[in-house]
Structure 1
Amino acid sequence: MKKQLISNELKEVLREEIRVFREKGHKFLNKELTVPQFKSLSGGMGSYAHRGGKEFMIRLKTPSGVISKEDFNQIYDWAVKYKREWIHPTTREAIQFHGMTIDEVCDLMEEALDYGIYSRGSGGNFPRNVAISPLAGVSKNEAFDVRPYAEKVNEYIMNRVNQYKLPRKIKVAMSSDRVAEPHSTTTDLGFIAVKENEKDMFKLFIGGGLGRNPRKGVEFPELVDPMEVVYYFEALVRLFVAEGDYENHGKARIRYIVERMGEEEFIACYKKHLKEVKDSEDLSFTFEPKIITKSGIKTSTIDNRLIEQKQEGLYAVYFHPEKGILETKLLGELLELTNEMEEVSFRITMNEGLYIINLNGAEADKVLEFTKGKGGELKVMQSVSCIGVPICQLGIGNSQGLVSSIIDKLKAEKIDKDLLPIIHVSGCANSCGVHEIGQIGFTGKTKRVNDAPRKCFELHVGGKFELGNTELGDIYGDMLEEEIPNFIYDLYKVLAKENKAFEAWYKDNNDSFKELANKYLV
């Protein structure tokens, strides 16, 4: 995706904001600002303090997770410059740097601003990175390529990023197929590409969200012309400003407006704002179709990380760094391998992994060989974890530690069948690991067990996010953190005995699953 262009005037406004933020950061370090006071300032700048308040994170908005080789090389250079041993692809298709000083964060903000990658608005009460299907434009299964429409919404947001005064964040997602990988059915504003009489159209879902009190989005009763997506986004912004709760932070997301109004009244209210936007604004746009001209070469390789693109003879290779921790050294080696490969680029996924796309068959074989054994091969080894304790200020459970323990246990037992699903782990109820819509999900909590506080995780099972088949997972209860790897391995043994993948097995064996889970619930 091309760099987002902003005016020189806005660039100078953002530069001044960075100067002020640097001052506030030092006041925070000097205990002149409290943690909540600093967080209210830092979120909108795309930065948060680590637990303990001495180190910081910066989140770079890589628009919709589409990253050119040039941009990824620049991100790598920054990681080297600031001595980061790893970077973190997020579950919102962005990139985070952790463990930095406040001056390093602000220096990187300025460098990125000059380069054309921004942190402003990547946190706090702002519209976030528009998430898309990571293989948009190359997937054989897509209705159409959603990238141009996501690009226009991202540009619209960025060019007024300093003007938003919202009750909370807004998340937008655009899916190019029914799988709805960017969670379009469970987000604030979710578009799903469909064909209607051979015409490109969007189904639209509004007012969904994960975290505390999750809910599925309300389906808009009409299909949406893709060329009008900016109108639909702006209408939701206006509804949110008019109807959102500015007093109660815990009830300030759009889904609570749906809860208060009811679905019918909410849709009527949204239509009212949509009409006002269409009557008063010109938010039309044009774009040049994105065409891949590279010649393909077939490969006979079969691998679950190798995906045939719709462009004949071209492929995507999936690479999932364990727990979403991408080592800087490994990234540098991957870039060195791919830098001379024509038209190759990268896509960050909602599962903290990345696709290397537009590879011909010979190149795909090289990338597969290079990444083999360096990340997850089986689905369960591609499990998702938020950053969690001990880094996150809000975290309750050590989500990264739990995923590591599960992977270590399964490696020690030498499992070799791809039967377990990706496990989604969140350190708290805020659901950065999207545990509610995973086939298996866990969220961290503390619970008294035998009259003593213990670290536990709540088990969620059966979540789905496909068009027409979206479900929030059932909550089974709590398990001790240290026992969960044994539970997962016991589940694997059951699946291996019947040689069935979890999703198919669970559908017909709820009682057997409950019996197994009950052995571990506390």
Structure 2
Amino acid sequence: MQSFRTEIENPVVEKDIIDLERKIRQFREGKVDDERFRSLRLARGIYGQRQPGVQMIRIKLPYGKVTSEQLHRIADVSDKYSTGRLHITTRQDIQIHYVSLDRTPELWAELEKDSVTIREACGNTVRNVTASETAGIDTEEPFDVTPYADATFRYMLRNPIGQEMGRKFKISFSSSDADTALSYMHDLGFIPKIRDGKRGFKVLLGGGLGSQPRHADVIYEFLEAERIIPLIEGVVRIFDRYGERAKRMKARMKFLLKDMGVEEFTRLVKEEQKAVPYDTYPIETEGFDSFPAALENLEHIEVPRVEIDDAEAYEHWKKTNVFPQKQQGFVAVGIKVVIGDFYTDKARKLADLVRKYAGNELRFSLRQNILLRHVREDLLPFFYRELGALGFTQVGYDSTADITACPGTDTCNLGIANSTGIAQVLEEVLSEEYPEYLDNKDVAIKISGCMNACGQHMMAHIGFQGMSIRSGKLVAPALQVLLGGGVLGDGQGRFSDKVIKIPSKRGPQALRTILDDFRANAEEGENFLGYYDRQGKTYFYDILKPLSETDNLTEDDFRDWGHTENYKQEVGVGECAGVVIDLVATLLYESEEKIEGAGTALEAGKWADSIYHSYTSIINTAKALLLAEGKKTNTHAGIIDQFQDVFVVTGKVELQAGGEFSDLVYQIRKNEPTGDFAGKYMQDAITFVNRVKSYREEELIAS
């Protein structure tokens, strides 16, 4: 690999990109362990695809906001380094595929020219901060949550507390009690409230999907807005310290809360607040709403004359895809993007359209769609024509016929069955046979290619999960049918029940059976969840059971959607939040790097960052010796306790001031983040690392 110039003005970003290029070179030269390198690249949004030798790049777009300039930049990057296809995720990111690892630093540098990042889009980090795509224009919102989501994103980006946790960490901000950002399934979820004229949030902790979904707990009915950043930092610190690190399937926040209990966890968070650099963190709210600038620019636009050829189709589109804003005279326009995929030629034209005729921004939605904001109501016929030319006027935005699906076996290592193929077929079934569901927003259908629930099937009214099924010696693609999930609002939600497993090619008939039964037997005014509860899980199992038989499979049943060859279950190693196995030498080397980071932060006056780098250095160093002894290193807290017993009590490693190892480490929570303490703690870390290195060298010589 050749070194390159990034031409990035921000020195922090430039250093980050150059460091990635250096680590890739070291990896190619065999100087960096494969597992450790995986952790580093994942934290830079670089994910190994199912196809060997290429990467998926996840572009991190906080709360889904993209300007015209940024969308042009993303399109250019996709054409230059990828295939020209853009995929919208259920976390409001953009993914591009089939990228060479060696080209990722220059790709990242190109994106940063328009302030677009891939940092912490994957890996064991604080992931993209999501929010309702209607935030700022929602007619029901108490206030715009965009500034708070933005402040959270910026505060956590490159923050040392969230770089190497046991698993990923997800945060959401809903715009209103409708809870469209799904707070109840997030590690931290925020719903805006106003109490006595003051802004604040209802706060939920510890939700999650996957094979063992957990409904988040309400830890605050009302938390003042200026206190959310200190709370977030405290929660992430405690999760980092006590979260599982060895058993990947038990490493999410929901499992830590199950083991520890919410009361004990929140006690530790409060105890940690002394170490957090801010008691309160006021958030600037001015300048986030693009409406004032949009209004000024749009007031003088001449309305292009447009003749509508099909008035009925136009009115149907307005009914399902156009929404009033709280700003009078303006509307938002929803674009239904089938399975979240669109291409760069259309992206550029869309970017030009919103720059000239709207608020110069769009937002990607949690349901893999696009929302155009600040569209003058009298410009709707023009937008209908322009969007129609791009194929972007399909009705049913956010409706039952707007199915959410993860990439599945198209590109994901963990995929068991094809998600996108079945999603497209089911959308065709709905459009052709159940047109009434194009206007229905009360039933959501979601599909995931495996149990990890990236397609959010566990919270759908009707969900499908990719699986496999055996018939004799042969294996066929299958779907687990789930029913009864949904968002109830104000932090409440339901997880769906696993009802039955069927061959994948029978998915369309399963959907027909469910919808036909609902149409025939629902009571007047009864919604789908009410109907499901009244009939019960066993009832639906019985009506779907004929579809589950495997003794009558046809040749076609052994081919997954979109494939011509027989199905093979080939599940790779998942990377998105994989727990890495660190080598002793690598950990000790990284401990020194952490101390360098502590020194850099100290010089910059970032006391809390310096302290956390020193803390991580001490922990990594202790972990290295424990691994060398074959000890478990599941949590930071466990490392601290074990190191005391194995190395300090036995006299193998002497601490500078005597006492216990926990006294050295837990200075971090007993001292305020001052410059004096940051300097002292860094020196303590240096002394400890040097003593452990000396001990390690002596042990290696003796052996």
Letter matched to residue 101 of structure 1: S
1:200 paired to 2:199: yes
Letter matched to residue 344 of structure 2: T
Note the 1:379-458 alignment, pairs <5 A. Answer: 379-411=399-431, 413=433, 415-418=435-438, 419=440, 421-450=443-472, 452-458=474-480
Kindly state the Cα deviation for residue 37 of structure 1 after the two structures are TM-superposed.
5.8
Partner Cα distance (2:225, 2:130) in 1: 16
C-alpha contact (below 8 Å) 1:203/1:224 kept by paired residues: yes
C-alpha contact (below 8 Å) 1:171/1:187 kept by paired residues: yes
Partner Cα distance (1:443, 1:456) in 2: 8
Note the 1:39-438 alignment, pairs <5 A. Answer: 39-82=38-81, 84-160=83-159, 164-273=163-272, 275-277=273-275, 283-288=281-286, 290-291=288-289, 292-293=291-292, 294=295, 302-371=318-387, 374=392, 376-378=394-396, 379-411=399-431, 413=433, 415-418=435-438, 419=440, 421-438=443-460
Partner Cα distance (1:278, 1:19) in 2: 33
| SS of corresponding position for 2:18 | helix
Partner Cα distance (1:132, 1:303) in 2: 24
Partner Cα distance (1:417, 1:455) in 2: 27
Count of aligned residue pairs for this structure pair: 513
Letter matched to residue 12 of structure 2: L
Kindly state the Cα deviation for residue 22 of structure 1 after the two structures are TM-superposed.
3.5
* CA pair 88-488 structure 1, distance change in 2 beyond 3 A: same
Partner Cα distance (2:344, 2:65) in 1: 19
Letter matched to residue 151 of structure 1: D
C-alpha contact (below 8 Å) 2:204/2:491 kept by paired residues: no
* CA pair 216-507 structure 1, distance change in 2 beyond 3 A: same
Residue 481 of structure 1, aligned match among 487, 504, 516: 504
| SS of corresponding position for 1:457 | strand
Residue 518 of structure 1, aligned match among 545, 562, 573: 545
* Range moving further from structure 2, 411-420 or 234-243: 411-420
* CA pair 365-461 structure 1, distance change in 2 beyond 3 A: farther
* Range moving further from structure 2, 492-501 or 453-462: 492-501
C-alpha contact (below 8 Å) 1:417/1:496 kept by paired residues: no
Letter matched to residue 17 of structure 1: D
TM-score when normalising by structure 1: 0.89
C-alpha contact (below 8 Å) 1:22/1:106 kept by paired residues: no
Kindly state the Cα deviation for residue 521 of structure 1 after the two structures are TM-superposed.
3.5
Partner Cα distance (2:141, 2:88) in 1: 24
Partner Cα distance (1:148, 1:394) in 2: 35
Partner Cα distance (2:83, 2:401) in 1: 24
C-alpha contact (below 8 Å) 2:43/2:119 kept by paired residues: yes
* Range moving further from structure 2, 200-209 or 107-116: 107-116
Partner Cα distance (1:145, 1:258) in 2: 30
Kindly state the Cα deviation for residue 509 of structure 1 after the two structures are TM-superposed.
4.3
* Range moving further from structure 2, 92-101 or 368-377: 368-377
* Range moving further from structure 2, 493-502 or 163-172: 493-502
* CA pair 162-80 structure 1, distance change in 2 beyond 3 A: farther
Kindly state the Cα deviation for residue 169 of structure 1 after the two structures are TM-superposed.
1.1
| SS of corresponding position for 1:428 | coil
* CA pair 133-245 structure 1, distance change in 2 beyond 3 A: same
Residue 482 of structure 2, aligned match among 460, 463, 468: 460
Kindly state the Cα deviation for residue 185 of structure 1 after the two structures are TM-superposed.
1.3
C-alpha contact (below 8 Å) 1:208/1:255 kept by paired residues: yes
Letter matched to residue 323 of structure 1: I
Give the fraction of aligned pairs with identical amino acids, expressed as a percent.
25
C-alpha contact (below 8 Å) 2:444/2:462 kept by paired residues: yes
Kindly state the Cα deviation for residue 11 of structure 1 after the two structures are TM-superposed.
1.8
Letter matched to residue 195 of structure 2: E
Partner Cα distance (2:118, 2:189) in 1: 23
Partner Cα distance (1:163, 1:381) in 2: 38
| SS of corresponding position for 2:547 | coil
- CA offset digits 1:462-507 (Å, max 9, x no partner): 2123225311111112121100011113333344557976456445
Partner Cα distance (2:140, 2:231) in 1: 25
Partner Cα distance (1:111, 1:227) in 2: 35
The structure whose Rg is larger is 2
C-alpha contact (below 8 Å) 1:322/1:376 kept by paired residues: no
Kindly state the Cα deviation for residue 344 of structure 1 after the two structures are TM-superposed.
3.7
| SS of corresponding position for 1:103 | helix
| SS of corresponding position for 1:213 | coil
Partner Cα distance (1:383, 1:432) in 2: 13
Kindly state the Cα deviation for residue 386 of structure 1 after the two structures are TM-superposed.
0.7
Partner Cα distance (2:241, 2:222) in 1: 25
C-alpha contact (below 8 Å) 2:448/2:464 kept by paired residues: yes
C-alpha contact (below 8 Å) 1:322/1:381 kept by paired residues: no
1:13 paired to 2:12: no
Higher helix share: 2
Letter matched to residue 544 of structure 2: A
- CA offset digits 1:316-359 (Å, max 9, x no partner): 11112111111222222322333311424101111111100100
C-alpha contact (below 8 Å) 2:73/2:111 kept by paired residues: no
Kindly state the Cα deviation for residue 361 of structure 1 after the two structures are TM-superposed.
1.0
Kindly state the Cα deviation for residue 285 of structure 1 after the two structures are TM-superposed.
4.1
Letter matched to residue 276 of structure 1: K
C-alpha contact (below 8 Å) 1:234/1:277 kept by paired residues: no
C-alpha contact (below 8 Å) 2:161/2:240 kept by paired residues: no
Kindly state the Cα deviation for residue 110 of structure 1 after the two structures are TM-superposed.
1.7
C-alpha contact (below 8 Å) 2:466/2:478 kept by paired residues: yes
C-alpha contact (below 8 Å) 2:147/2:284 kept by paired residues: no
- Partner residue, 1:472: 495
Gaps of 5+ in 1: 1-5
Letter matched to residue 157 of structure 2: M
Letter matched to residue 347 of structure 2: L
| SS of corresponding position for 1:304 | helix
C-alpha contact (below 8 Å) 1:189/1:208 kept by paired residues: yes
C-alpha contact (below 8 Å) 2:461/2:485 kept by paired residues: yes
- CA offset digits 1:367-401 (Å, max 9, x no partner): 34444564652323310111110311111111111
Partner Cα distance (2:285, 2:509) in 1: 52
- Partner residue, 1:3: none
Partner Cα distance (1:439, 1:470) in 2: 11
* Range moving further from structure 2, 454-463 or 353-362: 454-463
* CA pair 489-132 structure 1, distance change in 2 beyond 3 A: same
Letter matched to residue 377 of structure 1: V
